[in-house]
């Protein structure tokens, strides 16, 4: 950052540490302090990630977004069904299997009736995902894919690269279907 600022004629100095960036020694000390700060940031980030994964594997927390119809109960440390949403899930399965409605027709009916999805509007892909999701039969597997850093922060962009099966975390949850 300080190098970028120098390119535009901006000189940064540290009054507290009494570092003079106009000298070779000052530049060296500032560079070393920046390296230590970056190392400390990465170390803290790694420790927080390992702690989070440990809690996740021990099922003391849930990281991420649960499928429609489920919520994490913090006091019980378990996944529970949201009864109102579970009825909508059952209804979607019936519309598809019994009434042979297309994804698009299901979306149109739910939208017309004002049925809400918890994150976004209903769409054909969201109906497809819901109907194919094994969570509704009582099995949810998470931590299957690797993530990389993105514009919203560290580890925010899902990649197509799968983690080894030993890293997957499976939850047994109450089935809706």
- Per-residue model confidence as pLDDT tens for the chain (177 residues): 666 777 787 777 667 777 887 889 888 888 888 899 889 988 898 888 888 888 877 878 788 889 999 999 999 988 999 999 999 999 999 999 999 999 999 999 999 999 988 778 899 999 999 999 999 999 898 888 888 887 877 777 778 898 888 888 888 889 999
Q: At what angle do helices 124-132 and 83-97 cross, to 10 degrees?
A: 100
* pLDDT value of position 176: 96
In this structure, how many other beta carbons lie within 10 angstroms of the beta carbon of residue 67?
18
Q: Give the count of beta carbons closer than 10 Å to the beta carbon of residue 103.
A: 19
In the numeric block, which tokens belong to residue 28?
């060296």
- pLDDT value of residue 65: 86
Q: Residue 138 contacts by C-beta under 8 Å, 6 or more apart in sequence?
A: 172, 173, 174, 175
d(CA 153, CA 156): 6
Largest Cα separation within the chain, whole Å, is 78
Q: What is the pLDDT of residue 51?
A: 85
What local confidence, expressed as pLDDT, does residue 148 receive? 83
């Amino acid at each position: 950052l300080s190098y970028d600022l120098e390119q535009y004629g901006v000189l940064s100095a540290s009054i507290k540490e009494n570092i003079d960036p106009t000298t070779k020694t000052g530049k060296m000390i500032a560079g070393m302090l920046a390296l230590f700060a970056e190392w400390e940031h990465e170390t803290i980030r790694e420790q927080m990630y390992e702690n989070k994964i440990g809690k996740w594997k021990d099922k003391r927390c849930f990281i991420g977004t649960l499928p429609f119809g489920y919520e994490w109960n913090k006091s019980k440390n378990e996944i529970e069904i949201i009864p109102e949403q579970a009825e909508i899930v059952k209804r979607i399965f019936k519309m598809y299997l019994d009434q042979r409605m297309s994804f698009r027709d299901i979306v149109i009916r739910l939208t017309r009736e004002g049925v809400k999805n918890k994150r976004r509007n209903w769409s054909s892909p969201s109906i497809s995902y819901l109907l194919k999701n094994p969570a509704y039969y009582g099995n949810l597997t998470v931590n299957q894919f690797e993530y990389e850093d993105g514009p919203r922060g560290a580890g925010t962009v899902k990649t197509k690269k799968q983690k080894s099966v030993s890293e997957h975390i499976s939850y047994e949850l109450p089935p809706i279907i």
